């Protein structure tokens, strides 16, 4: 079986790493499966891309489409044009896309129009918020996916409700967690923490990159002021995404407790998450990682496509209600937070289940 595996943006790299490791493992056992890894180039900064390949030991991509940044239409179209040529030159049996970024959408459409089967890892999750580009990407991708690899029961239910046939749904669990569990003994203290003699337990980790939180500098300033006002003598560690940097530069906030860094590598970032008092975020993946590590997570969004992290995990949605943010920060720093549990099949064995299913699918091609 020949796969083409697509990855474009930071969270994608975490999802393909375990898959590739598992494919390499079964290949060594003589199983007939090969892959081409295509990087669309959606994320191209060293810190958002190369560092993740290194930390997660992902092989060099076979092709890089170098799509880069642009408006949604420009970025999506550039990826589509590059990926069409890639697939024409290098035909395959199944295109594997992951997550919900523009690369996921673009490459699934191209594959489908070339009559190539599409497998979607992390299929079926929904925020039901059509103002999020990711929700549109999820819905379009799932409307043309052939094989759905789902992380949760809720994702299965969402797909059933949209008319997907149960026989095409493979409930395999959360592949992000494969990466986290694989890396747990390799997490490393960031050098600036040691250099400044900061106690990681007296830190709040902050990540923000959603347009609704960061594109308006005034809104970003209000968030940062509220966080600083309600976190006592704790340090706020804020690795800043390029999108957020533009607004942050505009407001010019300066406080000795606020430590602004470049986007952090995976191993250092999760070291901090594991050790800190509370995480404040608008990321999808961080909601999942905090649930698995049992760390309080305050999510600055009104909804989540990962409801399990709220229902049984350690996550709380507070939207943009600053009163709720104040209360949540106080509770977290006082140690008054729900305990949380880990959702089923977030166990580090998702890639194993996916490769097994792909091999079954491939045997049905030849029957
Ligand atoms: C993308 C995904 C989002 C994901 C996030 C993780 C979409 C629609 N969004 O958002 O779901 O959570 O990645 O980080 O696919 N930029 C750089 N260097 C880079 C990449 C981007 O400076 O390597 C800048 C761009 O110029 C642009 C901004 O960052 O100003 C946004 O990049 P883009 O890839 O369009 O979306 P993200 O916000 O990163």
CA 243 to centroid of ligand 1, rounded, Å: 7
Answer whether residue 103 is part of any domain: yes
> Are 246 and 312 in the same domain?
yes
> Are 321 and 353 in the same domain?
no
CA 324 to centroid of ligand 1, rounded, Å: 28
Closest CA to 155 of 129, 174, 136: 174
Ligand 1 neighbourhood includes 9 CB (under 6 angstroms): yes
Ligand 1 neighbourhood includes 245 CB (under 6 angstroms): no
What's the total number of domains in the chain?
2
Alpha-carbon gap, residue 113 to 123, rounded angstroms = 20
> Are 138 and 250 in the same domain?
no
Closest CA to 283 of 312, 326, 250, 317: 317
Query: Tell me, what's the pLDDT at 367?
Result: 65
Query: Tell me, what's the pLDDT at 103?
Result: 99
> Are 236 and 211 in the same domain?
yes
Whether 209 is catalytic: yes
> Are 120 and 209 in the same domain?
no
CB 67 within 8 A of CB 40: yes
Q: Which residue's C-alpha comes closest to atom 11 of ligand 1? A: 101
Active-site pick, 39, 43, 120, 209? 209
Ligand 1 neighbourhood includes 235 CB (under 6 angstroms): no
> Are 60 and 91 in the same domain?
yes
Ligand 1 pocket: which of 129, 209, 269 to mutate (most atoms within 8 A of CB) = 209
> Are 145 and 229 in the same domain?
no
Q: Which residue's C-alpha comes closest to atom 2 of ligand 1? A: 101
Strand partners, 54: none
Which atom of ligand 1 is least distant from the CA of 44?
Answer: 23
Query: Tell me, what's the pLDDT at 365?
Result: 86
Which atom of ligand 1 is least distant from the CA of 102?
Answer: 15
> Are 31 and 147 in the same domain?
yes
What residues have CB less than 8 Å from 239, skipping those under 6 apart?
A: 207, 261, 262, 263, 264, 269
What are the per-10-residue average pLDDT scores of the chain (367 residues)? 98 98 98 98 98 97 98 98 98 98 99 98 98 97 98 98 98 98 97 92 98 96 98 98 95 94 97 98 98 98 98 97 98 98 98 98 85
CA 164 to centroid of ligand 1, rounded, Å: 30
C-alpha 70: how far from its chain's center? 20
Ligand 1 neighbourhood includes 209 CB (under 6 angstroms): yes
Closest CA to 358 of 92, 99, 64: 92
Structure tokens at 367: 């029957």
Query: Tell me, what's the pLDDT at 194?
Result: 87
Phi and psi torsions of 45, nearest 5°: -60, 145
Answer whether residue 38 is part of any domain: yes
Sign of the dihedral defined by the CA atoms of residues 67, 71, 74, 75, in that order? positive
> Are 42 and 148 in the same domain?
yes
Question: CA 247, 253, 255: angle at the middle one, nearest 5?
Answer: 145
How many CA within 13 A on the CB side of residue 94?
26
Q: Which residue's C-alpha comes closest to atom 25 of ligand 1? A: 69
CB 365 within 8 A of CB 147: no
Domain that holds residue 313: 191-333
Q: Which residue's C-alpha comes closest to atom 18 of ligand 1? A: 45
> Are 156 and 214 in the same domain?
no
> Are 165 and 23 in the same domain?
yes
Ligand 1 neighbourhood includes 294 CB (under 6 angstroms): no
CA 57 to centroid of ligand 1, rounded, Å: 22
Closest CA to 172 of 344, 360, 23, 365: 344
Answer whether residue 339 is part of any domain: no
Which atom of ligand 1 is least distant from the CA of 209?
Answer: 38
Ligand 1 neighbourhood includes 120 CB (under 6 angstroms): no
Alpha-carbon gap, residue 232 to 333, rounded angstroms = 9
Ligand 1 neighbourhood includes 11 CB (under 6 angstroms): yes
Burial of 158 per CB tally in 10 Å (0-12, 13-18, 19+): buried
CA 99 to centroid of ligand 1, rounded, Å: 14
Ligand 1 neighbourhood includes 215 CB (under 6 angstroms): no
Ligand 1 neighbourhood includes 102 CB (under 6 angstroms): yes
End-to-end Cα distance, the chain: 14
Answer whether residue 182 is part of any domain: no
How many CA within 13 A on the CB side of residue 255?
20
Answer whether residue 247 is part of any domain: yes
Which atom of ligand 1 is least distant from the CA of 99?
Answer: 11
Answer whether residue 186 is part of any domain: no
pTM: 0.97
Ligand 1 neighbourhood includes 44 CB (under 6 angstroms): yes
Structure tokens at 93: 């049996």
Ligand 1 neighbourhood includes 134 CB (under 6 angstroms): yes
Alpha-carbon gap, residue 197 to 299, rounded angstroms = 28
């Amino acid at each position: 079986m020949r796969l083409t595996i697509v990855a474009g943006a930071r969270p994608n790299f975490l999802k393909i790493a375990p898959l590739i490791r598992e494919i390499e493992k079964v290949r060594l056992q003589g199983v007939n499966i090969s892959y081409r890894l295509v990087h669309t180039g959606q994320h191209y900064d060293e810190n958002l891309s190369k560092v993740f390949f290194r930390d997660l030991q992902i092989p060099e991509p076979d092709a890089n489409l170098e799509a880069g940044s642009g408006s949604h239409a420009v970025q999506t179209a550039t990826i589509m044009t590059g990926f069409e040529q890639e697939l024409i030159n290098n035909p395959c049996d199944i295109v594997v896309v992951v997550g919900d970024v523009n690369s996921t959408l673009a490459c699934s459409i191209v594959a489908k129009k070339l009559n190539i089967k599409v497998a979607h890892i992390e299929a079926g999750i929904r925020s039901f918020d059509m103002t999020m580009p990711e929700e549109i990407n999820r819905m379009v991708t799932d409307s043309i996916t052939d094989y759905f690899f789902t992380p949760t029961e809720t994702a299965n239910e969402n797909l059933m409700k949209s008319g997907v046939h149960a026989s095409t749904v493979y409930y395999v669990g959360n592949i992000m967690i494969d990466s986290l569990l694989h890396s747990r003994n390799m997490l490393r203290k960031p050098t600036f923490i040691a250099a400044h003699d900061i106690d990681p337990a007296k830190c709040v980790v902050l990540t923000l990159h959603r347009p609704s939180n960061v594109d308006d500098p005034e809104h970003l300033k209000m968030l940062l002021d509220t966080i600083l006002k309600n976190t006592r003598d704790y340090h706020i560690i804020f690795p800043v995404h390029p999108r957020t940097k533009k607004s942050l530069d505009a407001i010019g906030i300066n406080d000795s407790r606020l430590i602004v860094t470049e986007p952090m590598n995976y191993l250092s970032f999760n070291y901090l998450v594991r050790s800190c008092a509370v995480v404040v975020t608008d990321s999808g993946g961080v909601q999942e990682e905090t649930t698995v590590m049992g760390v309080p997570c305050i999510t600055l969004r009104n909804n989540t496509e990962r409801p399990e992290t709220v229902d049984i995990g350690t996550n709380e949605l507070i939207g943009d209600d600053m009163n709720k943010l104040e209360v949540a920060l106080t509770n977290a720093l006082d140690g008054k937070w729900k305990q949380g549990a880990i959702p089923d099949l977030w166990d580090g064995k998702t890639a194993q289940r996916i490769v097994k299913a792909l091999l079954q699918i491939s045997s049905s091609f030849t029957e």
